[in-house]
Structure 1
């Protein structure tokens, strides 16, 4: 949720800058079209973010709209400043370019409060419209599919069909390694059985070390799939809470000499061949079920 809110805040800021730029560059002839386009961009961003919020929140709760209201008010105010700079149409149909001059018969002291009142009313009206649209989007988001619940139900059905039960693993960056460690313990395989492992480590830390050692010793098999230098990648695998994935599963299957079966949504099973069909471990992979995103649990034999 923190990551989602941070991204939403960044998107609001980027849209604000974009709208401000558009309004500053608008002329009298294009101003209406620019305002309409800016309104549309605000509504589209709000609707998409409302859907993302509802999906992550399991379809419940209201979507926050304060950030969107702040964005609307600020961009309107900046748009008003740009309008004053580029020139506005006067009530008698004339045009003023920047500040009025005495020769044009315009009095800044008289025009200022009137213009400010009109702008204030427009801001209030626009804010009310945006709030109503946000509420409508939130209601629509409540009707979106509950991906978390649906995935969970299908996974439980698939486990039952295969005689498996789930061992919950803490949803942190170490979940893959912790799940593998739990499975190795069920098979009575030592975490330090792989060559190059560090005996004084335990649990997921030792499994991380084993994965890093294997990748480092078989660089040709892994480097083509990396998007960063190997030393940096090794540091993330061995010493940080970076998530594990396909490459680490392959390294662990080869290191411990076990087949790794990953049960996924809709009952799909991905098998990573470790060269020993007599020993197999089972992991459950979730895409929507946990707040941090992708997650692995350990799957033990039922009963």
Structure 2
């Protein structure tokens, strides 16, 4: 087996190993992106791009080194430097060697490009390996022809190198242009899809504003801290002068000049005492505990465990808590939300109505309640 055949087999083995390395890198990158969070996604993408760039640089360096080795081996197996062959024979061999080398490099470059495109990662420009290899081939050819004449051999080698470089396509620029076009097309598709999506937040806001105007209500913003339902109910109770405490002392008869309690405080709240939302939370929990049969069937967990979280944490309240509060305070609660208005505690002979606004899309944390006061 001659030296050129051995070099070709070495390049084939190198291509196989490169494909295996790219496949392993693709698996690692896929795993990293799958496990990335919203906060770490940018760093993970940069890390993956850097990993892919380093691997490409390493593999291209190995291809260049292997190609140079193949060229050197072909020179050593060729005719003796002292041979008296004419310049035409040297030029023909130079052309054959260069064509064979270009075919090998094109095959290697094509395999690397196909594998890299599967990763969907934009890689930075890399040094043109083929130009370097061709230039080396030209110098080597010039040395090989030194026996026939120093001037003629050097001229033939330089001409082969320069001619090869001028005819080559700039594959790196073509790849970058193709990827830029793909990214632009993807951005246009995403923009078009977004233009057809329903703006739930805007639609919800329009409906709520319409309902507020119909019933003569103005919105009182409540902090979105997990206690919003209880804070909104406390604000409404305060507007109607209803005591918050589950066991309030008997108040003296109100004088004609009495006025409602400060907004959000509730008639039973005392400055510096327990926050109003905690009093309302406790009232809801105590009512649900004393009427367990009315609420436990709707829970997926033990009632005591649920009530403990509802009493001691910022657990969000919902339909059951509103029902308990409507019964505990003897009021009707009307909840204005997107598309409808829900009544809780209706038809039980109550005279006081509390108004709440319920949002699903208007706040970043999710569901939220505000208090609605009369204008």
- Answer yes or no: same fold by TM over 0.5: yes
The answer to whether the aligner puts 1:163 opposite 2:216 as a matched pair is yes
Q: How many residues align?
A: 211
State the TM-score, normalized to the length of structure 2.
0.48
- Cα deviation for residue 183 of structure 1 reads 0.1
Aligned partners of 1:113, 1:237: CA distance in 2, in Å?
Answer: 65
Q: 1:120 aligned to 116, 120, 125, which one? A: 116
Cα offsets for 1:153-177 (capped at 9, x unmatched) = 1111111111111111112211111
The answer to whether the aligner puts 1:299 opposite 2:372 as a matched pair is yes
1:170-189 equivalences in 2 (<5 Å): 170-189=223-242
1:13-52 equivalences in 2 (<5 Å): none
Q: Mind listing any 5+ residue stretches in structure 1 that lack a counterpart?
A: 1-19, 25-37, 46-62, 78-109
Aligned partners of 1:263, 1:145: CA distance in 2, in Å?
Answer: 21
- Preserved CA contact (<8 Å) 1:282 1:298: yes
1:54-73 equivalences in 2 (<5 Å): 70=45
RMSD: 4.0
* Counterparts in 2 of 1:118 and 1:245: CA distance versus 1, 3 Å: same
- Cα deviation for residue 218 of structure 1 reads 0.8
Aligned partners of 2:281, 2:288: CA distance in 1, in Å?
Answer: 11
- Cα deviation for residue 70 of structure 1 reads 3.9
* Counterparts in 2 of 1:190 and 1:117: CA distance versus 1, 3 Å: same
Aligned partners of 1:240, 1:136: CA distance in 2, in Å?
Answer: 44
Cα offsets for 1:198-254 (capped at 9, x unmatched) = 995231111111111111111111011011111221122111111110000001011
Q: 1:270 aligned to 336, 342, 358, which one? A: 342
State the TM-score, normalized to the length of structure 1.
0.58
Q: 2:243 aligned to 152, 171, 190, which one? A: 190
For residue 147 of structure 1, what is the aligned residue in structure 2?
200
- Preserved CA contact (<8 Å) 1:151 1:289: yes
Cα offsets for 1:44-98 (capped at 9, x unmatched) = x9xxxxxxxxxxxxxxxxx99x66x949x79xx8xxxxxxxxxxxxxxxxxxxxx
The answer to whether the aligner puts 1:234 opposite 2:312 as a matched pair is no
Give the number of the structure with larger relative contact order, counting CA–CA contacts within 8 Å between residues 6 or more apart.
1
Aligned partners of 2:189, 2:45: CA distance in 1, in Å?
Answer: 18
Q: Mind listing any 5+ residue stretches in structure 2 that lack a counterpart?
A: 1-22, 53-104, 123-174, 249-267
Q: 1:290 aligned to 360, 363, 370, which one? A: 363
Aligned partners of 1:225, 1:285: CA distance in 2, in Å?
Answer: 21
- Preserved CA contact (<8 Å) 2:246 2:283: no
- Cα deviation for residue 137 of structure 1 reads 1.2
